[in-house]
Amino acid sequence: KKFQQIDSNLSQLVRGPRSRSWIFGNILDRRVLLEYEDDGGAYTIKGCLGEKRLMITDPAAMKYIYQHFEQFERPPFEKFGESVVAGPENYNIFTARDSLRIKNLMNPAFKPAALRGYVPHFRTVAEKLTQKWEDLCMHRYPEKIQIDIHKIIHEATLEAAKRAVLGDRSAPISDMEVAFSKNCYNILSKLTGKPTKGALMTERIFGSIFPQFLLPVLLYIPSERMRTLRRHNFLMRSFVNEIRAAIVKEWNVEEVGQECILDVMKHTGDETQHDLLEILTWQVPILLVAGQDTVGNSITWALYEFAKNPEWQEQVRNEIIQAQAGKSGEDSEPALLDQLQYLNAHIKEVLRLYPGAPTIDRIALEDVVLPLASPVQSGDGTKSISQIPIKRGDRIMVDLAAYNRRHSIWGDDADTFKPSRWLDGSDPGKSTGIGPYANLATFSGGPRICIGWRFAILQMQVFLTGCLSKLQLRIPTGVEVHPVKSFTIYPATQEKEESLPLEIALLN
């Protein structure tokens, strides 16, 4: 099917910021866009070469998009990118209906009962990381270090996810596997973050002006991004072949060692062994890629907010240490972690303000009428409208990050990091509640909900308890950090993108 944008009159229907240029619209103008974010649940922005996008933060419209998944699909350009990054058989790029069969195979591996089995993997990696930092501190006087944690946390997150997905097979099989893992660092941000004007034009031209069969030509463009993409594609395919060979060898062997996602999935469904093997091995890259930038940045922001708020950090640490006292049974760990109310309030607030995947991108496959919970102003500002007619081919971005900061939902202090909002029994966000966790939009919703949301929270809980129970965190003097929104939300300092320098000290 062709999804070229039909002459849509979206911007007359719903208002949006003026653009200074027809060529780039207002897509590069973050300041202007931010002003609109809390100004009602729908507004239009202009992309390159006259493209229009409808930005949505209205809960009724979001729920409609989630539930009517057959009327909205990921745009072809995005699916093409995902197929190069995670393989042509990864279920993420199938339509919601076609992906159901694979999802049914994968779901049991993401249920709470199965997740308990992955805790030892998370703990092993978290302990290795904190031990390394403790050792570094020991050798310094006065027992503290300054370190940029961004890359280190991302590597640890990938390592933990690899162990949870592959179990004992996760030990590097070859140089190729090591190269694949290295290349995964921030791969999605590398490809989508801070796009140049040329990259924006290319996306527009190949994404909706040229016919779709030309998309693969993109890979031959001699740009840094395309080189990264080609290299990643080569490493990813070699990695999948190695995994397949490793699984074939021990398919019928009764599992020994620690539980992992692949072993849980092996026992689901009634596919033939050959089909199952093919399906499962092709899901490995998407699980690693989808969970790396997202969880990596969420843990990084959680450590940042602890470092910024030393008293709160101390309060959470005391809670952790008290809960751990006298409990050594590993079996009780997930239940124990869920009881840590301060820690979980911190995690909720991090997921609210720094959602790992801040926007989701859709294209309308047919003409539909999108309902709104609250009316918005029409394009000419003369009327208020409570539903938006959408034409086939219209591009819609659900802005999860903006939803999580809407003052009308979260209160006037929605932009402030305030974990106490989760502790006063008021159940914030409940009035419009969407999403599987804490009424947050962070993990999306409906049939295309993030399959890894419980996995992500558990991984955060294990890493943060491990780190806080051993170490103290501070923001180094003179360091200023700000969030940058791209595929994910990452920290940057004046000197460096994707960077979070922290001062780490041993506990007294």
* Positions at the binding site for heme: 450
Residue in 13, 48, 137, 450 binding ligand HEM, rule: CB under 6 A: 450
Q: How many residues bind ligand HEM (CB under 6 A)?
A: 25
Question: Which of positions 268-327 make contact with ligand HEM (CB under 6 A)?
Answer: 286-287, 290-291, 294-295, 298
| 483 close to 491: Cβ distance less than 8 angstroms | yes
CA angle in degrees (0–180, nearest 5) for 230-236-241: 130
Choices 23-31, 122-130, 448-456, 463-471; region in contact with ligand HEM by CB under 6 A = 448-456
Residue 23 C-beta: closest distance to ligand HEM, Å: 27
Choices 14-22, 219-227, 438-446, 477-485; region in contact with ligand HEM by CB under 6 A = 438-446
- How many CA atoms lie within 13 Å of 319's alpha carbon, on the beta-carbon side? 20
User: What distance in Å separates the CA atoms of residue 49 and residue 24, rounded to the nearest whole number?
Assistant: 6
Residue in 99, 130, 344, 404 binding ligand HEM, rule: CB under 6 A: 99
Residue 355 C-beta: closest distance to ligand HEM, Å: 5
**Residue 50 CA to its chain's centroid (Å):** 29
Residue 160 C-beta: closest distance to ligand HEM, Å: 10
Q: What are phi and psi of 406, to 5 degrees?
A: -65, 125
- Give 103 or 470: the residue with its C-beta nearer to ligand HEM: 103
Residue 287 C-beta: closest distance to ligand HEM, Å: 4
Sequence-distant (6+) residues with CB within 8 A of 149 are 300, 303, 500, 501, 502
- Give 19 or 83: the residue with its C-beta nearer to ligand HEM: 83
Residues flagged as binding site: 450
Which residue is listed with tokens 């949006």?
A: 16
Shortest Cβ contact with ligand HEM: which residue? 452
Sign of the torsion formed by the C-alpha atoms of 6, 7, 12 and 15:
positive
CB atoms within 10 A of CB 231: 13
Question: Which of positions 134-193 make contact with ligand HEM (CB under 6 A)?
Answer: 161
Binding mask 379-418 for ligand HEM (x = CB under 6 A): ---------------------x------------------
| 390 close to 364: Cβ distance less than 8 angstroms | yes
- Give 13 or 105: the residue with its C-beta nearer to ligand HEM: 105
Residue in 448, 461, 485, 501 binding ligand HEM, rule: CB under 6 A: 448
User: What distance in Å separates the CA atoms of residue 161 and residue 280, rounded to the nearest whole number?
Assistant: 16
Residue in 80, 180, 306, 455 binding ligand HEM, rule: CB under 6 A: 455
Sequence-distant (6+) residues with CB within 8 A of 373 are 41, 58, 59, 60, 61, 432
- Give 13 or 166: the residue with its C-beta nearer to ligand HEM: 166
Q: What are phi and psi of 14, to 5 degrees?
A: -125, 140
Q: Which of 126, 236, 122, 118 is nearest to 188 (CA)?
A: 236
Residue 391 C-beta: closest distance to ligand HEM, Å: 21
Query: DSSP readout, 12-75?
Result: HHS-----SBTTTBTTT-HHHHHHHHTSSSEEEEE-GGG-EEEEE--HHHHHHHHHTGGGEE--
User: What distance in Å separates the CA atoms of residue 95 and residue 2, rounded to the nearest whole number?
Assistant: 15
Largest CA distance in the chain: 70
- Give 340 or 400: the residue with its C-beta nearer to ligand HEM: 400
Binding mask 342-381 for ligand HEM (x = CB under 6 A): -------------xxx--x---------------------
Q: Which of 492, 335, 444 is nearest to 63 (CA)?
A: 444
User: What distance in Å separates the CA atoms of residue 445 and residue 63, rounded to the nearest whole number?
Assistant: 8
Residue in 207, 452, 491, 501 binding ligand HEM, rule: CB under 6 A: 452
Which residue is listed with tokens 């072993």?
A: 263
Residue in 83, 186, 444, 486 binding ligand HEM, rule: CB under 6 A: 444
Q: Any contact of residue 461 with ligand HEM (CB under 6 A)?
A: no
User: What distance in Å separates the CA atoms of residue 355 and residue 32, rounded to the nearest whole number?
Assistant: 21
| 48 close to 92: Cβ distance less than 8 angstroms | no
Residue 34 C-beta: closest distance to ligand HEM, Å: 20
Residue 9 C-beta: closest distance to ligand HEM, Å: 26
- Give 61 or 450: the residue with its C-beta nearer to ligand HEM: 450
What letter does residue 206 receive in the DSSP assignment?
Answer: I
Question: What distance, in Å, lies between the first and last C-alpha atoms of the chain?
Answer: 64
Residue in 11, 44, 189, 442 binding ligand HEM, rule: CB under 6 A: 442
Residue 444 C-beta: closest distance to ligand HEM, Å: 4
Q: Any contact of residue 92 with ligand HEM (CB under 6 A)?
A: yes
- Give 360 or 376: the residue with its C-beta nearer to ligand HEM: 360
Please report, as ranges, the residues that interact with ligand HEM according to CB under 6 A.
74, 92, 99, 161, 286-287, 290-291, 294-295, 298, 355-357, 360, 400, 442-444, 448, 450-452, 455-456
